[in-house]
Amino acid sequence: MRLPNLKKKRISLVVALFLVFVIVMQFFSQPVRNPPVTAAIKAPAAVLNILQRACYDCHSNETRTSWYDKIAPISWLVHADVTTARSRFNFSTWDTLSPADQQGRLWEMVNMVLTGKMPLPTYTAIHPETRLSSEDIDILKQYVRDLSPARYHDTVMIHAAGQELKQVQQKTTGMPVAANGVAYIPDYRNWQVISTTNRFDNHSIRIVYGNDILVRAIRANQTHNLPEGSTIVKVVWNSIEEKNGDIIPGTLNSVQIMTKDNKKFADSRGWGFAKFNGIALKPYGNTPLFNTTCFNCHKIADKNDYVFNLPLPDDELK
Amino acid sequence: MDKAPDRKMFDAGGLQVITSFANSKQQTMSVIYGNAAAQYYTRSGQDTDAEGALFRLVVHRQADNKFWYGSHINGALLSVESISGTAGNWFYKQEYGKTAATSGTRIAYILSHKPSVFP
């Protein structure tokens, strides 16, 4: 079929305009730059191989780009992804983090991988070689476990816990407030315990409490989207561990809070976080920005409305 | 929309947590609750303070947390035991499940746990 001349001309004009538009875009292309590697992560070769293959393109200053990554608008998307990834953690400046932060980030990384959130599915679709095999994942799991060994019968901790017990009986708790406005809640001990946990990544043992709003929502099976005002208080102790498998609470690590205020914390799906460290309950985070760090990690539990420790559903009890 | 599955929470009957503990080899996770007298008694250690104390030990099976490799969470409820009364004259009750030990052993076991540091 022949198109009338006028219609042909119009199509040519649209194509030409589009090409001009794409060419002009190239002047605003933002190719990824690689700053120097100053403090690279040190890890066993098998681990480094995996990180370099699956993570380094975004989480390091050794980003490898293909020719099409340099063309706008793709370059803009790649640039944005790499910038965000490097801001979360960067394997090229890794050794500037404290050992505790490094350990925490590595466990977070393993859990992002285990829950299929990382490497980004859009990235592995284009770069299938970055997909992790079950052997790769086993290597990463063993690596983080080796980084976090138990210290059995830690007498320093046992003594310190005894001292803290005396101290908390003598003092009255203050009302600290985190930088994002979430305040400590002294009344939580009258709340319902929703779950208990213990962790072998950071060797801690916890009690998780929920307020009435949260508990009612759990009982009514409304856990996909917990209601406004739902609040969780988690008390975390550093654990004292014994070779026979015993894990008991030692010194107080922190009291952590999650509270839902959809207006105030719209950027984190309504959740405001707080962490009060030690028996002095010192608020963690100097600026409200810490809320984003908390939320980023809680994305792993997005299927439970970002709560890691809802009581297990009956069909998962064994 | 699909309803989420039921989730159970142990109702301690108005008691507060005294301490919690776990055993990774036995794969158990436990909480000891107590009333005000029990709370006071565990802190003072004076037998005369035990009058009217009520302790409840709740044991769950340890489960993996599918959202966090590195964490265990309480799974199925295994047993509930309580002791009440006064020092030297405790009344032991198995409220749920079975525990293979004499009541005297269980009373001593429950009382052997120190309270956790609560701010």
Identify the pLDDT of residue A2: 60
Which two three-digit tokens encode residue A102?
Answer: 């490094």
Identify the pLDDT of residue B47: 74
Note the pTM of the prediction, 2 decimals.
0.89
- The answer to whether B9 contacts A279, with C-beta atoms less than 8 Å apart, is no
Identify the pLDDT of residue A72: 75
**Chain B contact for A216 (CB, 8 A cutoff):** no
CA distance A92 to chain B (A): 25
Nearest to B29 by CA among A154, A207, A240, A252: A207
Name the more confident of A118 and A78. Answer: A118
**CA quadruple A85, A87, A89, A92: dihedral positive or negative?**
positive
For an interface test with A, which of B39, B73, B113 has the most A Cβ atoms less than 10 Å from its Cβ? Answer: B73
Percentage with pLDDT > 90 across chain A = 77
**Residue A264 corresponds to which amino acid?**
K
- The answer to whether A249 contacts B29, with C-beta atoms less than 8 Å apart, is no
Identify the pLDDT of residue B2: 53
* Cα distance between residue A252 and residue A205, in whole Å: 10
* Chain B, window 51-80: residues with a beta carbon less than 8 angstroms from a chain A beta carbon: 60-61, 63, 65-76
pLDDT of residue B1 exceeding 90: no
**Chain B contact for A158 (CB, 8 A cutoff):** no
If DSSP codes are grouped into helix, strand and coil, which group holds residue A97?
coil
The average confidence (pLDDT) of chain A is 92
Please list every residue in chain B whose beta carbon sits closer than 8 Å to the beta carbon of residue A139: none
Please list every residue in chain B whose beta carbon sits closer than 8 Å to the beta carbon of residue A303: 67
Q: pLDDT tens digit string along B103-114?
A: 999 999 999 999
Q: pLDDT tens digit string along A16-42?
A: 889 888 888 777 777 788 899 999 999
Please list every residue in chain A whose beta carbon sits closer than 8 Å to the beta carbon of residue B20: 196, 205-207, 249
- Which of B60, B66, B117 lies at the smallest CB-CB distance from A165? B117
**Chain A contact for B9 (CB, 8 A cutoff):** yes
Nearest to A234 by CA among A252, A218, A222, A250: A252
Question: For residue B9, what is the nearest residue in chain A, using CA coordinates?
Answer: A194
State which H helix or E strand residue B78 sits in: strand B71-86
For an interface test with A, which of B1, B8, B20 has the most A Cβ atoms less than 10 Å from its Cβ? Answer: B20
Please list every residue in chain B whose beta carbon sits closer than 8 Å to the beta carbon of residue A148: 70
Q: pLDDT tens digit string along A145-178?
A: 999 999 999 999 999 999 999 888 777 667 899 9
Identify the pLDDT of residue A9: 87
Identify the pLDDT of residue A49: 96
Identify the pLDDT of residue A20: 87
**Chain B contact for A217 (CB, 8 A cutoff):** no
Phi–psi pair at A219, nearest 5 degrees: -65, -30
Please list every residue in chain B whose beta carbon sits closer than 8 Å to the beta carbon of residue A256: none
Strand B71-86 to B89-96 pairing: antiparallel
Mean pLDDT throughout A85-102? 94
- Which of B6, B21, B119 lies at the smallest CB-CB distance from A221? B6
Of A23-32, A76-85, A94-103, A306-315, the poorest mean pLDDT is in: A23-32
Mean pLDDT throughout B69-76? 97
pLDDT of residue A299 exceeding 60: yes
CB B75 within 8 A of CB B83: no
